[in-house]
Amino acid sequence: MKRRIPLHKPQNFPPDWEARFLTSDTIPTEEQLCRRDHMDDEIYNEWKLQINTKALVYAAMQALNATSVTPNIISKSIGSFNRVFLISFPSTKDTPEFRVAARVLRGKGRMPGRIEATAAIMSLALARGLLVPEVYAWHPGTDNPVGAPYILLEWAKGEDIWRSWIYYTKEEKVNFLEEIARHHAKLAEPLPFVGIGNVRFANAEAGHDLPPDKMDSYRVGGPFLPGPLCTQDSRSAIWPQTIPTSLRDFWVAIWQHEVDFITSKHGADRSVIITDDEDETPATLGELLEVAASVRVLIDKCVLPSPNDYPSVYEPCFVPTDYAFRNMIMDPKTCKITALIDWDDVYIMPFLLCSRYPEEICFSDGVDEDRWDKSGRFPFLPLDEEGEVPEEDESIGIAAPNGPPTAERGCNRSEENQGSEDRGTVETAVCPASHAEDDKDGGSDAETGKDEENIPAMLDADEVDFHRRVRETRLRREYEKLLASADARFASDGFWQMREDPLKIQHLVMSGWAEWLLYASWIQERAIEMKLAI
């Protein structure tokens, strides 16, 4: 099946869609799909979307011009920002079964313009040759028959990577990192745009379709729309409407927005308490503004590579904020990546920032506390650990909760949380002991045992952590070499050092003032160091 409606604008339902959908009575309601037996009214009402599931199914039928067959729909997962439904068109004598992932945004995920930005950047990535699920349709608001913002996506085939990774031998891990590095290098390829921020569909003339495989169907520019990883902890409501083209000016714009927002909200009284969560250490406006001033020092004093000496590090490319195996789908037979998912937190940024290691080789537990504090404790910039690792310990990992995947019982993300930036499900959120969504064949902890079976008795926890830090340090060096072999820019002199401060500042400005308070001690100490260094 293929998309049959324009992609550059929100999906438009015909006024008589219900009359056309003659078999709509067979579609279960949201409550029938999503309400578990253990949910009382309070729990269900907290998580329900109040959507018309018949309209959601029709949206898929219309987008694919497949109105002669009534598909099935089931709920697959839910998290803080959206619920994912699976819409399945049954096979016929002429066509195989066809699956569509329908992501419906919950309240926390409904930032104006977010859906279009996700649809546009995924479509651009697909046009650039990246393995990305195809977008079939989208709508940004609640003023549609579905009753909520949604996006319809290709259902990517394959299995989770992260649960398999921990059981790989050293050689298997290096081989798989080579596969990941190829896709990382593809993300880093220069794009034909000027600017920083989000991708949007270009403005089309009335009645004119924008072919998604053409670069002039897209544009980059404001207003800036951060993804869920940036907004989930930020209390800011309005983000900058125009985005500068230089990295430092971008940081200044986001920083100024945060300061303006918090001062407009709390006024001039520097003694007012601005934190409101029960588990937070109380902080005053004055304390925050002092930290904010130090953040500005970091921005102003950060030594960025010279554009004359290193022009390539400023070339725009796809930069993921959440770079982890959980956002990759793999063919279990070939061990090749079949899809890169979760594009809500991907932006167009300078190549310099497309330099995070995969999260799974950034282990830092048990690291020297003084060194860790000095570095700022940024989890995406782990400290290197040197040392000897016993040969027999080379393949020891931290076991997955459901034991090693098998051909019969794989842990298939596409069967659980396809196309979602969320990590959990409603079952684990509200009733973790009673029911978590199972693997596709019903695997559970009770069937397979726990971590202890995979750790030799002669090693204590500190030794296990040390060995893992050493192994992952070596894997990071391998990953750097693999990236350099795919793209010479990664081999630029001093590249892996020059990107450290920019990555830290990028994280701070994107995460907002609540994160500034969390990193306050390091921010203020680093600001003093930078002042003295100039």
Mean pLDDT of 69-78: 92
pLDDT at 95 over 90: no
Mean pLDDT of 323-349: 92
- How confident is the model at residue 207, as a pLDDT? 53
Comparing 68 with 59, the larger pLDDT belongs to 59
Q: What is the dihedral of CA 246, 252, 257, 263, to 10 degrees?
A: -170
- In three-state form (DSSP H/G/I as H, E/B as E, the rest C), the secondary structure along 83-150 is EEEEEEECCCCCCCCEEEEEEEECHHHCCCCHHHHHHHHHHHHHHCCCCCCCEEEEECCCCCCCCCCE
Mean pLDDT, range 124-146, rounded to an integer: 96
Count CB atoms within 10 A of the CB of residue 454.
18
* Mean pLDDT, range 321-346, rounded to an integer: 92
Confidence of residue 405 (pLDDT cuts 50, 70, 90): very low
pLDDT tens-digit profile of 216-266?
A: 899 998 788 888 777 655 555 556 677 788 999 999 999 998 899 889 888
Distance (Å, whole) CA 386 – CA 375: 17
pLDDT, mean of residues 79-107: 91
Q: Which pLDDT does position 63 carry in this prediction?
A: 96
Q: What is the pLDDT of residue 417?
A: 47
Q: Which residue has the higher pLDDT, 22 or 394?
A: 22
Tens of pLDDT, residue by residue over 162-174, are: 778 888 888 989 9
Confidence of residue 509 (pLDDT cuts 50, 70, 90): very high
Which of 120-129, 272-281, 430-439, 447-456 comes out lowest in average pLDDT? 430-439
Which of residues 172 and 478 earns the better pLDDT score?
Answer: 478
Q: Phi/psi of residue 186, each to 5°?
A: -70, -40
Check pLDDT > 70 for residue 327: yes
| pLDDT value, residue 243 | 72
Residue 267 has pLDDT above 90, yes or no: no
- Look at residue 414 in the predicted model and tell me its pLDDT: 42
What lies within 8 Å, CB to CB, of 31 at 6+ separation is 44, 48
Per-residue pLDDT at 400: 37
> What is the arithmetic mean of pLDDT over 50-65?
96
Confirm if 348 and 198 have CB atoms less than 8 A apart.
yes
The CATH 3.30.200.20 domain(s) of the chain lie at 1-155+402-435
Please state which CATH number belongs to domain 1-155+402-435.
3.30.200.20
The pLDDT of residue 87: 97
- Above 90 in pLDDT, residue 177? yes
Phi, psi of 136 (to 5 degrees): -100, -35
Q: Considering the entire predicted model, what is its pTM?
A: 0.86
Identify the residue with better confidence: 112 or 422. 112
Mean pLDDT across 97-103 = 96
